[in-house]
Structure 1
Amino acid sequence: MRKILLGLLLASPLALAAPPKLISAEEFGADWPFTTEEMHLQCLPGNAVVVTDPETGRMYAVNGAASGKARQLGLDPLDQVWAESESIPGTKVSVGTVIKAGLALCN
């Protein structure tokens, strides 16, 4: 019984989330921060912005709110799919545009 209740508690944030939106490198152009061509973008309760790789099904935290829930939701580290910046070596491409698009889904 405990396992069932725990499973329901862990799954509940995903059940309350708005449906994901497919986003792509083509759509974002030079602002695309991922190493994959497409991602599913979603806003979970609490303004937690996440992306899911449609090929692998792996979900990644994009903003601080999602990072705080990473363990609870079983999210993978964003670094696994976060692209390196070509213009500033040693840094990553900004995820700001993706966070903005994700937060728009929260409303």
Structure 2
Amino acid sequence: MKKLALMFAVLSVSTSALAGIETVSRFDMGKDNWPFTREEMMLSCEKGNVLLAINDGTLVQYPLNAAAEESIKAGRIKGVPIDKMLADDPANPGHKKSLAPIIARAEKLCN
């Protein structure tokens, strides 16, 4: 029921039509593929291939691609830069973990 309530809240936060949404976790993706500092995030694909990661605790939206960044800059949706949510990459000191596995998972929601 909590997941359903969160989904409806996200729908009301976003101004564009939502094509897909999914909750993913470190457990689902595997420790090596998990780029976030949180254990769980929601992913969404909105109209126009706008890919977002959403903090399921605060409902803050983070852009995953250029289309999402542009939508935020244009004021069509609310969001903040994703840098604050990214974990450091222990294999590459001074860099953050790659978003590639998360972006690939979010892109599947667009279909």
> TM tier, shorter chain?
0.7 to 0.9
Percent sequence identity over aligned pairs: 32
Tell me how far apart the structure 2 counterparts of residues 19 and 62 of structure 1 sit (CA, whole Å): 14
Tell me how far apart the structure 2 counterparts of residues 20 and 51 of structure 1 sit (CA, whole Å): 10
Residue in 2 aligned with 1:28? Answer: 29
- Alpha-carbon contact 2:33-2:101 (below 8 Å) kept: yes
Q: Say which of 87, 91, 96 aligns to 2:95.
A: 91
Alignment of 1:65-76 (within 5 A): 65-71=67-73, 72=75, 73-76=77-80
For 1:106, the aligned partner's letter is C
Residue in 2 aligned with 1:79? Answer: 83
- TM-score normalised to the size of structure 1? 0.83
Deviations 1:6-49 (A, max 9, x none): xxxx82x1xx1124200001111111010000001000111111
- TM-score normalised to the size of structure 2? 0.80
- The count of corresponding residues between Structure 1 and Structure 2 is 95
3-state DSSP class of the match of 1:103? Answer: helix
Answer with 1 or 2: which has the greater Rg. 1
Tell me how far apart the structure 2 counterparts of residues 27 and 64 of structure 1 sit (CA, whole Å): 25
How much is the aligned-residue C-alpha RMSD, in angstroms?
1.3
3-state DSSP class of the match of 1:68? Answer: helix
Tell me how far apart the structure 1 counterparts of residues 66 and 95 of structure 2 sit (CA, whole Å): 18
For 1:85, the aligned partner's letter is D
Return structure 1 stretches of 4+ with deviation > 3 angstroms.
none
Residue in 2 aligned with 1:3? Answer: none
